[in-house]
Amino acid sequence: MGDSRRHLLAVGDLAREDAERILDTARALERSLDREVKKLPTLRGRLVVNLFYESSTRTLSSFELAAKRLSADTMVLRAVGSSVDKGESLRDTALTLAAYDPDVIVIRHPHIGAPRLVAAATDARVVNAGDGKHQHPTQALLDLHTIRDALGRLEGVSVAIVGDVLHSRVARSLVEALVLVGAEPVLVAPPTLLPRGIEAIGAAVSHTVDVVADVDVVYVLRMQAERMEAAYVPSLREYTALYGITPDRVRPGQVVMHPGPMNRGVEIDARVADSGASLVTEQVRSGLVVRMAVLYDLLTAPGLHVAAVPELEVA
């Protein structure tokens, strides 16, 4: 995984066997969620630092819980309220935290490349929890886990990724991850919300929502108002009319996913979000076990076979 298997900065750090090993580890770890005592001793004495320069509910809470469930010590540093407010640089912040000898630094940052800077400045293993519009690799892995759990396979599964692709690190990471495991992504968005040349990373492209009828998975993206410096659609009402995922656009047998947080009534109708087709809650649950698996993978012998995992002693 990653440079010398030390970091998870982008989906491109992963070979197919890496992704499959992490998903198999996550599946094995899933069994621990149903036990009365859920904690495993695997990472006892290790330190996982969560360094978040952007808001987060799912990613931060799941990394925190994942580390705790594996018995690691954890620290959270949110930029707001820290010395970042006084102008401390990312490098100095990373060097300060490195003084505590963390084994892993999980970082979310609005600027592309921030996780790589932390990886270069410290001896910790670094996990990218989202950098600008660039990458969110653990989101992609948890989405693969969710799809495999729901459909029983990944190879050949068709996935329509609908909405604000332009501003979405989730879309970029997910397309790469789907291609890696032999699934078939199609991006569905108005031309203004698609990065130029996006086809090069292996997805088909459609400007009309009709193609959604032909896929196994409808993956809805959040309209990212906070990353839009200009008007990319005439109005949200028009966007919803043309691309919003409403009950009439979901056929029986399809599953619907959304990375969260959802703008109900904009990119996804509440009736779809709350329907039996929705895997949104399953995605959150997958986030916990997949992030446990990523920490486990980074901090144990590279390539350690998943068969070792179920035998982990309960603390």
Question: Considering beta carbons, is residue 171 or 277 the nearer one to ligand CP?
Answer: 171
Q: Whose CA is closest to 102, among 81, 84, 130, 126?
A: 126
Question: Nearest-CB residue to ligand CP?
Answer: 59
Contacts of 85 (CB under 8 A, 6+ apart): 79
Helix (H) or strand (E) holding 48: strand 47-52
Question: Considering beta carbons, is residue 5 or 58 the nearer one to ligand CP?
Answer: 58
3-state secondary structure of 163: coil
Query: Which of 31, 35, 41, 57 contacts ligand CP by CB under 6 A?
Result: 57
What's the alpha-carbon Rg for the chain, to the nearest Å?
19
Query: Which of 32, 59, 93, 286 contacts ligand CP by CB under 6 A?
Result: 59
Question: Considering beta carbons, is residue 80 or 304 the nearer one to ligand CP?
Answer: 80
Query: Which of 58, 78, 91, 207 contacts ligand CP by CB under 6 A?
Result: 58
If one asks whether residue 227 binds ligand CP (CB under 6 A), the answer comes out as no
3-state secondary structure of 77: strand
Question: Considering beta carbons, is residue 121 or 143 the nearer one to ligand CP?
Answer: 143
Q: Whose CA is closest to 139, among 103, 175, 94?
A: 175
If one asks whether residue 115 binds ligand CP (CB under 6 A), the answer comes out as no
Question: Considering beta carbons, is residue 40 or 159 the nearer one to ligand CP?
Answer: 159
If one asks whether residue 185 binds ligand CP (CB under 6 A), the answer comes out as no
If one asks whether residue 56 binds ligand CP (CB under 6 A), the answer comes out as yes
Yes or no: say if 42 and 103 are a contact pair by the CB < 8 Å rule.
Answer: no
Residues 165, 158: Cα–Cα separation, whole Å: 17
What is the CA angle 160-165-166, rounded to 5?
160
Query: Which of 259, 273, 288, 290 contacts ligand CP by CB under 6 A?
Result: 259
| CA 290 to each of CA 75, 81, 83: distance values in angstroms, whole numbers, following the listed order | 20, 29, 31
Across the strands, what pairs with 184? 158
If one asks whether residue 139 binds ligand CP (CB under 6 A), the answer comes out as yes
Q: How far is the CB of 80 from ligand CP (least distance, A)?
A: 15
Of 34-42, 56-64, 184-192, 265-273: span binding ligand CP (CB under 6 A):
56-64
In the block, which residue shows the tokens 């298997």? 5
How many residues at the interface with ligand CP, by CB under 6 A? 9
* Interface residue list for ligand CP (CB under 6 A): 56-59, 130, 139, 259-261
